[in-house]
Amino acid sequence: MKILVFSAHPDDADFGCGGTVAKKAAEGHEIHYVVATGGQKGKHGIDASSEQFALMREEEQRNSAAILGVKSVMFLKFVDGELENNDELRRWLVHAIREKKPDILMSMDPSAQKFDSVYRYHKDHRTIAMAVFDAGYPAAGNNNFYPETGEPWTPKEFWFFGGEPNHHEDTTSFINTKIMALLCHKSQVNPEEMEKWVRQWAEDTGKNAGMPYAEAFRILSFNR
């Protein structure tokens, strides 16, 4: 099985579904990442140009992905904070889907619109979630959309995280791997605070499914 994971910034996917990514990779499934922006506006006092910082964050993401077992990372290099669900972005997403031919598309949930978290509802997060849905259906499977990007391909399922779930993945055996991967994002995380928060979040999620640690998804099938 192939899984294509989309995120707005380096580290988004690792926080949202890193345990599941590590689990699926360990099971022998092929995982690929697509990261839309360079995250260059999240410098937090680091002395570097925007271009230098984007490269730094790319390296952090490559290192993190390697720990999780991700086979490749594609960086689309859009500007952090300026992502738009437009023709250019959707063309790139369709290109990635047709190139990798995944069974599953994984991203933040486009239906999550509660605005009950400042961080979760960053504009880029909302934008990539909607764009992934639009690229996954109808564009990727329909040759009338972006025929220059390759032969049409229709995945089997969306796995959305950050919304109202209908599926839980037991990530108990992979919580440490997830934390190790997140520690690669040195420009973004406070190690002690991050580990405490990630463990608590996974524990709270697992309680709803009788699991010590878990990640939650809303699975949506392409079957009619």
> pLDDT tens across 105-155, in order?
999 999 987 766 766 668 999 999 999 999 999 999 999 999 999 999 999
Tell me how far apart the alpha carbons of residues 42 and 31 are, in angstroms, rounded to a whole number.
Answer: 26
pLDDT at 86 over 90: yes
Report the chain's mean pLDDT, rounded to a whole number.
94
pLDDT at position 45 is: 66
Percent of the chain at pLDDT exceeding 90: 84
pLDDT band at 191 (very low <50, low <70, confident <90, very high): confident
Domain of 184 in residue numbering reads as 2-221
> pLDDT tens across 45-65, in order?
677 787 888 999 999 999 999
Query: Which CATH number covers residue 166?
Result: 3.40.50.10320
The two structure tokens encoding residue 133: 């849905």
Backbone angles phi, psi at 206, to 5 degrees: -65, -30
pTM for this one? 0.95
Tell me how far apart the alpha carbons of residues 214 and 65 are, in angstroms, rounded to a whole number.
Answer: 19
pLDDT band at 34 (very low <50, low <70, confident <90, very high): very high
> pLDDT tens across 150-175, in order?
999 999 999 999 999 999 999 999 99
**Looking at the 3D structure of the chain, how many domains does it have?**
1
